[in-house]
Structure 1
Amino acid sequence: MLQSYIYLHVLLSFLTLLHHVQCSSSQAPVPKYQPLPPLREQALLQDTWTRERLSIVPSILKKWGVDAWLMSQREYAEDTVFWSLKPATSFSARRRTVILFLAEPLPGLSSHLYSWIDNTPLVWEELSALLELHDPTKIAVNADDEISFSSGMHAGEMALVREKLGKELAGRLVVEKMVAVEVVATMVEGKLGWYRKLQETAWAMISEAFSEDVIEPGRTSTEDIEWWLREKILQMNYSTWFHPSVNILGPKPLFESPPSGKSNVINYGDLLHVDFGVTALGMNTDTQHMAYVLYPGETESDIPQGYLDGLKKANRLQDIVKSNMKIGLTGNQILKSSLKQMRSEGIEGKVYSHPIGDWGHSAGSLIGMTNMQDKVPVLGDLPLLKNTYYSVELTAEHFVPEINATMNFYLEEDVYWIEDEKRWEWVWGRQEKFHLIHSRAGQGFRVQNAG
């Protein structure tokens, strides 16, 4: 009877443990590498997404009160927006590439998009005839003097467009910066599945880089990890939009540290930081995570409590920023409300979140910058748009008793907009536990304090 009771007790304990493991796994799934499809399939995917984007341009023109949108560019002097509208197999504009969108085609003319690839006067004759037929009052051009996504028409091309259209039509040219911004910023629904896969792959690369498979304390440097990530990106047939940055965190903020290039050797007890992103299928990710290097024989329970509390505080700041990202508010309004709530909860830190998608720092409103925590001129005054991706990027300060100093805890995760629920959600997840670098057998031992 006693044996049966012991057996039952052991079985119940095992089932309870299994349940906890399963729950833990569902809450924090292990990231896996997501291979990209063959190039032909990638092109088909991208062209499908581009067609979706092209179909919404007329509604964007109407929203911002323009009747037409004109772009003109030449090979290697492309308009910034060209890269968001081109076919997947186009690597540059050809000859002179002219694109015209109409908000409302005339009855019987179903097309809202016309394009020419030509280097003869015929392009100007046909363009002028089409504009005279539709008689638009306002023709938007990308000639803003502040926003890169809305200022892509080169000065020489702009002068030629004015000359060829003639005084009357040229007088209808207007700059409406939000047209180009919203077209580039809008992420069509079909992209999300693959964007999640890109984000999971970025997590998987960080997880492997921040592991004992790559890092040997006392020998591996931060620069070694940066180049390991670059090589891993190539092995997976991905690319990136910036060189990875790996640092050993300490009391001094990263922004005050000297430029990278100094190779710091990683040791036991170090708190590591990475800023990393991958590029594929015309999309970009941006992630910042932290890792702790365990001493030999240590487990997760040995992480200094001050570090754990710092990470938790940064997670709370993420929640604050995400909850204040209300559609239609400007980035500066969101920054102000986020910092006010942050400080009311006794948190000090910085918020510097940005749109992401077609570009790493993509079109849309900025929510702070590292050196601008009051407001961001121009870009901070743009409204927050729905159906975009954002990098919630920030740092929270926390006093760490174990080192008797205040440290900055850096996090960055990408979010997407859920229209039906009117809220933002993490693309794949967010870091709530440190990556851990364990020690391999025989790598060393922790030196105990004398006395």
Structure 2
Amino acid sequence: MRALLTAVLGTLAIIGTAHGAGTPSIKAPQLQTLPPLREQAELVDAWTEERKALIPSLLHKYGIGAWLMSQREYAEDTVFWALKEATQFSARRRTTHLFLANPKPGTPPAYSWIDNTDAVWTELRHVLEEQQPATIALNTHPEIAFSGGLHAGELDMISAALGKEWADKFVLETMLAVEVIATMVPGRLLWYKKMQETAWAIIEEAFSEKIIVPGKSTAWDIEWWMRDKIQSLNYTTWFQPSVFIVTEDDFPALRDDPRAPDHIIQYGDLIHTDFGVSALGLNTDTQHLGYVLYPGETKADVPQGMVNGLKKVNRLQDIVKDNMVIGMTGNEILKASLNQMHSEGIEGKIYCHATGEWGHSAGTVIGMTNLQDKVPVLGDLPLLKDTYYSIELFAEHFVPERNQTLKFAQEEDVYWDSETNRWEWVYGRQEELLLIKTPRADDISQIPMEL
């Protein structure tokens, strides 16, 4: 019996109960099962049709007569992915779309061709001659990917095929493609919340004693576990999960290298993850922190400096969220947020971006890790409301118990709530460190009674 107790106690040193974190009102996050593939396709196609229906009003908003997109298989315009059917893997042959602001009575507002002959140009010219749009927008922006997806060769082909009469009407309207991609129709939010909850649930399981064995598990072990977990749930991801131990040295390395150092996780470590899931044409983006308790420790034993570091970065999240005023540019929001941050004695960096349709999606950028004064071009776009944003940033905080200044990084997704007229957390935000709990080896009270 003594040998059995010894073995059990040794095991209990690495097994505990998962400890969730987040705002007090949030229940423990649960994994959300995706519907069957056919139902997923029906959901996505319905959302796509809603978004397509918005295009004529956007053409009016920006004073554009027609919008032309054309691409070949594997050389798709960026906007193609926001307008395709759910079951499409790529464009076919030459796929050409034309959207009209003011179609003549009895004619449709949109046309599409899938062809590998010159018939597409003959029919396109016929439609243009009938409709006579004053301007034709093409996605040719030199720096914004979402507004610059028309390939150079396809532009040459369009210009030659349509002739100078129509080529003279070609214009660039940056915000047209940006706003089409950025617009998240209302029906998407329910599933986006479920996906965010799933991301939280995976992180909380990964950052628990069920997965982490202090002194044995490495950062890469946890990364690979997260990858396997994503696949087992039939989700995918748009970037590889990262896990690293927060020290004064590792964080700067992570900013330049997407792969964190493969260190062994030890008692007393502050650990960080950057993690997201993808499904239903949507992508999440989350960064959370965890702390590895020494055997027998409880929440009360977490170094106060680390608790305060998380509180400080929570405050920085609030500052940025409150300064995200619809219509302001990302650079204006960045400046206002930095000024308020510094006035409150907080040092750190802000690098927020649109998310949802893409991980780094269409919309203005609020800072970058290497651009804290302003972000050229992307930072000059206006903030749109019907989209999702990742509030991504870090705050520096001196941890007396470590005699180190650590960077406390957080990232949470928000959406614009038309009822409250403000940005709200999609699922919540981390306000308590995730705890990896290990009992004392001599704590026989935790031995299962059946033994």
TM-score by length of 2: 0.91
Question: Which stretches in structure 1 are left out of the alignment for 5+ residues?
Answer: 1-23, 445-451
1:267-305: per-residue Cα shift (whole Å, max 9, x none)? 000000000000000000000000000011100011000
Where does residue 369 of structure 1 map in the other structure? 368
Where does residue 266 of structure 2 map in the other structure? 267
Contact 1:212 1:440 in 2 (8 A): no
Where does residue 211 of structure 1 map in the other structure? 208
SS at match of 2:187: helix
Matched, 1:197 2:194: yes
Give the letter aligned to residue 155 of structure 2: M
How far apart, CA to CA, are the structure 2 residues paired with 1:351 and 1:253? 19
Where does residue 8 of structure 2 map in the other structure? none
Where does residue 278 of structure 1 map in the other structure? 277
TM-aligned CA distance change 1:409 to 1:98, over 3 Å: same
Where does residue 95 of structure 1 map in the other structure? 93
1:154-203: per-residue Cα shift (whole Å, max 9, x none)? 11110000011111011101111110000000000000000000000000
Contact 2:244 2:260 in 1 (8 A): no
Matched, 1:180 2:177: yes
Where does residue 17 of structure 2 map in the other structure? none
How far apart, CA to CA, are the structure 2 residues paired with 1:345 and 1:42? 46
SS at match of 1:398: strand
After TM superposition, the structure 1 = structure 2 runs for residues 32-51 of structure 1, keeping only pairs within 5 Å, are 32-51=30-49
1:89-130: per-residue Cα shift (whole Å, max 9, x none)? 111000110000111211222x21110001111111111111
After TM superposition, the structure 1 = structure 2 runs for residues 33-112 of structure 1, keeping only pairs within 5 Å, are 33-109=31-107, 111-112=108-109
Give the letter aligned to residue 203 of structure 1: W
Shift of 1:60: 1.1
How far apart, CA to CA, are the structure 1 residues paired with 2:76 and 2:23? 47
Contact 2:142 2:148 in 1 (8 A): yes
How far apart, CA to CA, are the structure 2 residues paired with 1:430 and 1:273? 15
Q: Which of 2, 26, 29 is the aligned partner of 1:28?
A: 26
Give the letter aligned to residue 361 of structure 2: S
1:34-60: per-residue Cα shift (whole Å, max 9, x none)? 000000000000000000000001111
Matched, 1:237 2:250: no
Contact 1:58 1:112 in 2 (8 A): yes
How far apart, CA to CA, are the structure 2 residues paired with 1:392 and 1:53? 25
1:23-77: per-residue Cα shift (whole Å, max 9, x none)? x996131000000000000000000000000000111111111111000001111
Where does residue 12 of structure 2 map in the other structure? none
SS at match of 1:417: strand
How far apart, CA to CA, are the structure 2 residues paired with 1:377 and 1:149? 16
1:228-286: per-residue Cα shift (whole Å, max 9, x none)? 00000000000000011101001236134574363100000000000000000000000
Between stretches 56-65 and 179-188, larger displacement belongs to 56-65
Where does residue 17 of structure 1 map in the other structure? none
Q: Which of 241, 245, 248 is the aligned partner of 2:245?
A: 248
Contact 2:67 2:100 in 1 (8 A): yes
Give the letter aligned to residue 73 of structure 1: Q
How far apart, CA to CA, are the structure 2 residues paired with 1:76 and 1:133? 31
Over the matched positions of the two proteins, sequence identity in percent amounts to 62
Matched, 1:129 2:126: yes
Question: Which stretches in structure 2 are left out of the alignment for 5+ residues?
Answer: 1-21, 444-451
TM-aligned CA distance change 1:25 to 1:332, over 3 Å: closer
Between stretches 228-237 and 123-132, larger displacement belongs to 123-132
SS at match of 2:54: helix
1:331-382: per-residue Cα shift (whole Å, max 9, x none)? 0000000000111111111100000011100000000000000000000000
Q: Which of 95, 112, 116 is the aligned partner of 1:115?
A: 112
Give the letter aligned to residue 284 of structure 1: N
Contact 1:252 1:407 in 2 (8 A): no
How far apart, CA to CA, are the structure 1 residues paired with 2:58 and 2:226? 39
TM-aligned CA distance change 1:185 to 1:412, over 3 Å: same
SS at match of 1:100: strand
Where does residue 387 of structure 2 map in the other structure? 388
1:424-447: per-residue Cα shift (whole Å, max 9, x none)? 000000000011101156499xxx
Give the letter aligned to residue 130 of structure 1: V
TM-score by length of 1: 0.91
SS at match of 1:27: coil
Name the Cα RMSD after superposition.
1.5
SS at match of 1:432: coil
How far apart, CA to CA, are the structure 2 residues paired with 1:390 and 1:25? 19
Where does residue 10 of structure 2 map in the other structure? none
After TM superposition, the structure 1 = structure 2 runs for residues 300-319 of structure 1, keeping only pairs within 5 Å, are 300-319=299-318
How far apart, CA to CA, are the structure 1 residues paired with 2:319 and 2:38? 42
Contact 1:273 1:290 in 2 (8 A): yes
How far apart, CA to CA, are the structure 1 residues paired with 2:234 and 2:241? 16
How far apart, CA to CA, are the structure 1 residues paired with 2:333 and 2:356? 20
